[in-house]
Structure 1
């Protein structure tokens, strides 16, 4: 619940850039997917740029752009030409 409250507080300010460190990490599967969908919708509707930092490789499939970092160095930077809708992501 604390994580959801923190996300809601951040969104209340209508930011242009939203930094999310493991936004689904402490959430159950259903709530995690709801949070991802909300972040996706926010970006599409309000033009908010959302940076999601995660170890969950499945989430990357929904991103427009994926930057992989290893040992503090950028390993790859790729545009996702065909993002998977959040509702189709499984982990």
Structure 2
């Protein structure tokens, strides 16, 4: 299981605490593999972008209109977190549904 997030993100820390065996990848330092981003975007669509982040608020309208995959490549912190890859499946966020699926 791989958890993509930010080490400073409270939600990511909660997820990591509940998933102690997960490998953590800091998207700011290490980025997200492009093929994984494509799969996540195909599955989650616009939900993959965190439009409530300070990074998003700092973008002008022209930047916001760009292809989401290009935006995420340039600004990995725009990704909603955490993105969890487990047994070939992707999970986004740390809501009750994701917790139930991963914790049983």
Q: Which has the higher helix share?
A: 2
TM-score class normalised by the smaller sequence? under 0.3
> Which is bigger in relative contact order (C-alpha 8 A, separation at least 6)?
2
**TM-score scaled by length of structure 2:** 0.24
